[in-house]
């Protein structure tokens, strides 16, 4: 029988550790007989840097620096956004003016067309030229409005179509009038009625939409809630940091941290005061310059509408009572608006009203030819001359008011943009000083 004979293992050397079944750790490398310390990974280094009191101080320094930097970014963004909002608001107000200019020019064209129609046959070249110029301005203004405010593109497309329909009806009325056909008066009345029932509501909607956008941008331009909250947080963190260091070191003045806190307070106060100033400036612009622009556009549109209704009352012989009622409404609007404006627009309109009453008296007395003669006369004492003085004066004031409104809205923009950069630099400086202030105490642990 064969038997396996186990070979005896040699005994372990004296002083050697008994085997444990696990590999022995690698010995530290040696260079020239000197032990080289093993490198620790980034995670281990980070954990070591955050251990104990020094680690907690490093976290405090990081928190203080972060809130200062965040305040700089939030404050700068608030001020830059304010400037951008003012620019957009100015663009919206400019669009409102364009829309009102289209309204005014369309009614001016209607006034010229209806007055020229009264003369019959070959119309007055000057009135025809005034009509063509007004329609040309309408086309150019619509094109500009579509370019400057793409959001209004659809409505402006509808408006342009309606203008073309109006022009086509006026041309048909002119053609019939040259031939002495009574149908011309019907076409002219349809054109004027369509202008007021179809085109004017589109203009109203465009004006309201841009006014709303302007109001929203102006309100957005003075928003400082984020700045105030972030600034308050930064001040609290810096004060808490100074208190913590004072308790641990028994040194109650940390110059870098004190300066950092001062810079944050300066940035917070400067930003808040600037945004409050923007709010005040915006309110003044809305109440004064922008309101002046809207009053003048209202006056011009009502004046041209009145002039057109004056002529339409004569075009529709014997059926002009409804147009005279509209004229009275327009005249009341002009007088109410002119009374709140500087200059003598109210007096000038009163002169026109007196001459209009003479036209109506002649027509009501059955002397239609005399009424037409008074309505189409262009001499210095005519109703037409008195009317021209009013709309020319209002137009001149409107040009000045538009410039003043644009300047009033955008004036704070440059100041807020520059201050945004200054605020950012102040807060970044505060962040550096906060780290330096805590660092002074960290030096004591080395």
Q: Give Cα separations from 260 to 62, 241, 399 (angstroms).
A: 14, 11, 50
Q: Would residue 33 be called left, alpha or beta, if left means φ above 0 and alpha means ψ between -120 and 50 degrees?
A: left
Which ranges in 123-254 belong to alpha helices (H)? Answer: 125-148, 153-178, 183-194, 200-220, 225-249
Look up residue 340 and give its two tokens. 């709140």
The verdict on residue 391 lying in a domain is yes
Identify whether 73 is part of a domain: yes
Distance, in Å, from the CA atom of 433 to the CA atom of 128, rounded to the nearest integer, reads 75
User: pLDDT 10s digit of each residue in the chain, 446 long?
Assistant: 444 444 444 554 444 445 555 555 555 555 555 555 555 555 444 444 444 466 778 888 889 999 999 999 999 999 999 999 999 998 999 999 999 999 999 999 999 999 999 887 777 888 999 999 999 999 999 999 999 999 999 999 999 999 999 999 999 999 998 888 888 899 999 999 999 999 999 999 999 999 999 989 988 887 788 999 999 999 999 999 888 888 876 677 789 999 999 999 999 999 999 998 898 888 898 889 889 999 999 999 999 999 999 999 999 887 889 999 999 999 999 999 988 887 788 889 999 999 999 999 999 999 999 999 999 998 888 999 999 999 999 999 999 998 999 898 888 888 899 999 999 999 999 999 998 988 777 766 55
| pLDDT given for residue 261 in this prediction | 93
- The verdict on residue 15 lying in a domain is no
Instruction: Point out which residues pair with 286 in neighbouring strands.
Output: none
β-sheet bridge partners, residue 30: 35
Rounded CA-CA distance 253/239 in Å is: 12
* Residue 21 counted as domain residue: no
So what's the pLDDT on residue 324?
94
Tell me which residue of 144, 416, 414, 410 sits closest to 289, measured CA to CA: 410
Can you give the residue range of the structural domain that contains 423?
54-445
Asked if residue 402 lies in contact with residue 97, where contact means CB atoms within 8 angstroms, the answer is: yes
Determine, yes or no, domain membership for 19.
Answer: no
Q: 407: how many CB neighbours lie within 10 A of its CB? A: 12
Helix axes 52-118, 291-315, angle to 10 degrees: 20
| In a domain? residue 186 | yes
> What phi, psi does 36 have (nearest 5°)?
-95, 125
Residue 319: what pLDDT?
A: 81
Q: Is 23 inside any structural domain? A: no
- In contact, 221 and 86? CB cutoff 8 Å: yes
Exposure letters 227-248 (e unless 16+ CB within 10 A, then b): bbebbeebbebbeebbeebeee
Are 78 and 419 in contact by the 8 Å Cβ rule? The answer is no
* Structure confidence at residue 248 (pLDDT): 72
Q: Is residue 17 part of a domain?
A: no
Number of folded domains that form the chain: 1
């Amino acid at each position: 029988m064969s038997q396996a004979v186990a070979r005896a293992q040699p005994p372990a050397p004296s002083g050697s550790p008994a085997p444990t079944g696990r590999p022995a750790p690698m010995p530290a490398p040696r260079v020239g007989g000197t032990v080289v310390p093993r490198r620790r990974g980034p995670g281990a280094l980070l954990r070591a840097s955050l251990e104990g009191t020094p680690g907690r101080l490093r976290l405090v320094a990081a928190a203080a620096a972060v809130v200062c930097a965040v305040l700089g970014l939030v404050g700068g963004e608030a001020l830059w956004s304010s400037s951008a909002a003012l620019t957009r608001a100015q663009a919206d107000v400019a669009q409102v003016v364009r829309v009102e200019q289209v309204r005014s020019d369309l009614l001016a064209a209607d006034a010229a067309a209806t007055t020229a129609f009264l003369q019959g046959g070959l119309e007055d070249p000057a009135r025809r030229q005034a009509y063509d110029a007004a329609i040309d301005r309408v086309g150019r203004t619509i094109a500009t409005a579509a370019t400057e405010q793409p959001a209004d593109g659809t409505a402006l497309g509808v408006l342009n179509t309606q203008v073309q329909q109006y022009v086509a009806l006026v041309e048909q009325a002119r053609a019939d009038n040259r031939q002495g056909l009574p149908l011309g008066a019907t076409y002219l009345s349809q054109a004027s009625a369509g202008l007021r029932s179809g085109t004017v509501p589109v203009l109203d909607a465009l004006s309201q939409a841009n006014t709303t956008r302007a109001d929203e941008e102006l309100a957005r331009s003075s928003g400082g809630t984020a700045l105030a909250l972030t600034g308050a947080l930064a001040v609290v963190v810096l004060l808490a940091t100074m208190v913590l260091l004072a308790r641990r070191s028994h040194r109650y003045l940390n110059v870098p941290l004190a300066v950092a806190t001062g810079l944050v307070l300066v940035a917070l106060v400067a930003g808040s005061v600037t945004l409050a100033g923007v709010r005040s400036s915006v309110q003044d612009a809305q109440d004064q310059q922008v309101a002046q622009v809207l009053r003048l556009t209202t006056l011009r549109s009502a004046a041209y509408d009145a002039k057109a209704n004056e002529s339409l009352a004569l075009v529709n012989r014997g059926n002009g009572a409804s147009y005279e009622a509209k004229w009275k409404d327009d005249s009341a609007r002009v007088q109410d608006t002119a009374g709140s404006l500087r200059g003598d627009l109210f007096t000038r309109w009163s002169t026109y009203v007196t001459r209009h009453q003479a036209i109506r008296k002649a027509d009501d007395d059955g002397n239609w030819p005399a009424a037409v003669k008074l309505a189409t006369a262009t001499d210095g004492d005519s109703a037409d001359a008195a009317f021209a003085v009013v709309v020319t004066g209002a137009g001149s004031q409107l040009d000045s008011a538009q410039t003043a409104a644009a300047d009033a809205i955008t004036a704070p923009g440059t100041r807020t943009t520059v201050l945004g950069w200054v605020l950012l630099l102040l807060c970044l400086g505060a962040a550096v000083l906060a780290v330096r202030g805590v660092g002074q105490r960290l030096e004591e642990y080395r």
